[in-house]
Amino acid sequence: MVTDSSDAAALTEWIAAVSRELGLEPALGAIASADLVLNLAADVAHGVSRPGAPVTAFLLGGAAGRADDPTVAARDLAGKISRLAQGWDADTERAVPANDQSRRA
């Protein structure tokens, strides 16, 4: 999603700096996963709500971080979440209690 080379360079530097600050290993693929997270955020922002995008990215990170291979888990989970967001119908979903799976499409 980052197209301008200066944006890409800044993003790469930022991800590396945040990873160091958080004590994360670069081997976790954070830089390579940036497009994955940005695409997921776009799907959620357009299909659900803009504020949902960063919250969803946070939830993805938490879930992927629990996996044996966080990079693979992030990719798999992001795909599931993107499909959910793309099919999300906010008008009807809001009326269905979160725990009532029988009423969801």
Nearest of 22, 25, 23, 44 to residue 33 by alpha carbon: 25
Return d(Cα 87, Cα 39) in angstroms, integer: 15
What is residue 91's predicted lDDT score, i.e. its pLDDT? 57
Mean pLDDT of the 41-45 span:
95
Highest mean pLDDT out of 26-30, 38-42, 94-98, 99-103: 38-42
pTM of the entire predicted model: 0.72
Return d(Cα 34, Cα 48) in angstroms, integer: 20
Percent residues over pLDDT 70 in the chain: 74
